[in-house]
Amino acid sequence: MITADLTSRVALVTGGASGIGFATARLLAQCGARVAINDRKDSPRLSDAAAELKADGLDVVIVAGDVGDPQSVEAVVAETVKQFGRLDYLVNNAGTAQTDTPIPPEAMDRLDEAFWQQILSVNLVGPFRCTRAAAAHLKVARGAVVNTASFAGFGYPGSSVAYAASKAGLINLTTNLARALAPGVRVNAVAPGLIRTPWTARFGQSWEDQSVQRTCLKRAGTPEDVAEVILFFLAGAAYVTGQTLRIDGGMS
């Protein structure tokens, strides 16, 4: 595990109750950061995630809210700053697939207007909302933003055409947010491939096995694999902005 001294730093991690978000919140807190864990109020994991980290002596708080709701996003950022007095790092990790099984590209009739609207609102507009709400605080701190995109954003189907399109948009948004917040705030993205999380577990073992065979490293990634790269972009990579790094075991 890589590490860094993040004492006095404050991070907000959206979608932080499980998977990549939880691993990132834990790693940042282990490095000394104070961390606001965001997830939807109805998330069954949110309270348990915070309790688990607090039991390890880590400085975390719950800041519930939905990144798909503009007013909720403003409140999440405001509450984080109220709790900790500043904001240095924003991890836009919250996302949705809106399906329990992958939808093949040819099944266009399954991608109705409501499906597209929810995918884009959470996966693409959500990170913009959060970054816009946090921008003034991040500029004061000369902080950093990391967006969780996906290898699907590079032309792979992912869980659906809509999901892949939302992540492709997020990769482009990352580049343009880097321009918008320069020179004081760096903005980068990670693009995970197959990462073994409760989210991907819904797609079944056969889907995972096929995905693993397409990697060079012949294993599924872990949330911790992604968290380490997010830490690198936040605490290091001082001359890197506007970039997206694939974390896919060589799948692409």
Cα 181 to Cα 99, 136, 175: the distances in Å are 34, 9, 10
pLDDT > 80? residue 192: yes
Q: Is 204 left (phi over 0), alpha (psi -120 to 50) or beta?
A: left
Q: What pLDDT, on a 0 to 100 scale, did the predictor assign at position 58? A: 98
pLDDT > 80? residue 201: no
pLDDT band (50, 70, 90) for residue 211: confident
pLDDT > 80? residue 150: yes
pLDDT > 70? residue 202: no
- 84 versus 208: the higher-pLDDT residue is 84
> SS3 of 138, please?
helix
238, exposed or middle or buried, with CB in 10 Å at 0-12, 13-18, 19+? exposed
Q: What pLDDT, on a 0 to 100 scale, did the predictor assign at position 213? A: 86
Two tokens at 153? Answer: 């954003």
Of 156, 149, 153, give the one whose Cα is nearest residue 105.
Answer: 156
The share of the chain scoring above pLDDT 70, in percent, equals: 98
Q: What pLDDT, on a 0 to 100 scale, did the predictor assign at position 198? A: 73
Which whole number is the average pLDDT over 189-199? 88
Q: Which residues are catalytic?
A: 163
Q: What is the rounded average pLDDT for all residues in the chain? A: 94
CATH numeric code, 10-247: 3.40.50.720
The contacts of residue 177 (CB under 8 Å, 6+ apart) are 128, 131, 145, 187
Please give the torsion angle defined by the CA atoms of residues 231, 237, 240 and 244, in that order, rounded to the nearest 10 degrees: -30
